[in-house]
Amino acid sequence: MERHHFEDELQVLKQRLLGMGALVEDRVHQAVTALIERRLGLAEQIAGGDQEVNELQIEIDDRCLKLLALQQPMATDLRLITAAMKINADLERIGDQAVNIAQNVIKILPQPPLRPTIDIPRMAQITQSMTRDSLDAFVKKDAVLARKVLKRDDEVDQLKDQVFRVLLTYMMADPGTIERALSLILISRNLERIADHATNIAEDVIFLVEAKDVRHHHEERVTP
């Protein structure tokens, strides 16, 4: 390997991206924990803003731009950098969703909990594992793992619908629960959006590894 300088720069880029991924994952986890364990302080901390995530996004985009302009990456290197830019955007959106979840949690907590929040923790768990797996797939350049992530998006969608239906019956039964239920529905939507972003990341990983663009082709997703 001759281009040490370039190799080093790529390593730093990957590192920063994964760092951002870890940070964002953690924030989602904390927002969900704030909901489940009913910790207002934690929710406020997350809702306070994600400066660090935003700064990281700007830094990573800048790095990618410089690498494109100055190093003329080709083939895998080029796909890596374009994937990094896209993953960067998705991660930032995930970070925003974490903030949204926290804000919604702040609205719910003053009131007593609604009964079935079972699906939401389940959704959260699947979503978080999708995020983690998609980033793992990026690190390990594992397209198989990425495809598994794609498959689980359907489950998240179904859970979201299920949560909606359940909470709808709650709301129809007891209008006093509407505020809490709506917030929960919003949280489920946030989680579903996070899953979508994780899916995008997985698609980007497949393009990086296989040079195949699998977006919008549902059939291709299920074939390994």
Binding residues for another protein (CB under 8 A): 2-6, 8, 12, 15-23, 25-26, 29-30, 33, 42, 52, 56, 65-66, 69-72, 132, 135-136
- Minimum CB separation from another protein for residue 114, in Å? 24
**Alpha helices (runs of H) in the chain, residue ranges in sequence order:** 4-36, 40-47, 51-71, 75-108, 119-140, 143-173, 178-210, 218-222
User: Whole-number minimum distance, CB 43 to another protein, in Å?
Assistant: 13
**Of residues 23 and 78, the one with the C-beta less far from another protein:** 23
CA neighbor of 84 nearest in space, from 153, 15, 3, 177 = 15
HSE on the CB side for 124, CA within 13 Å? 23
CA nearest to 48, candidates 27, 75, 68, 67: 27
Q: Which is nearer to another protein, 40 or 70 (CB)?
A: 70
Residue 71 CB, nearest approach to another protein (Å): 6
- Closer to another protein by Cβ: residue 39 or 107: 39
Q: How far is the CB of 189 from another protein (least distance, A)?
A: 24
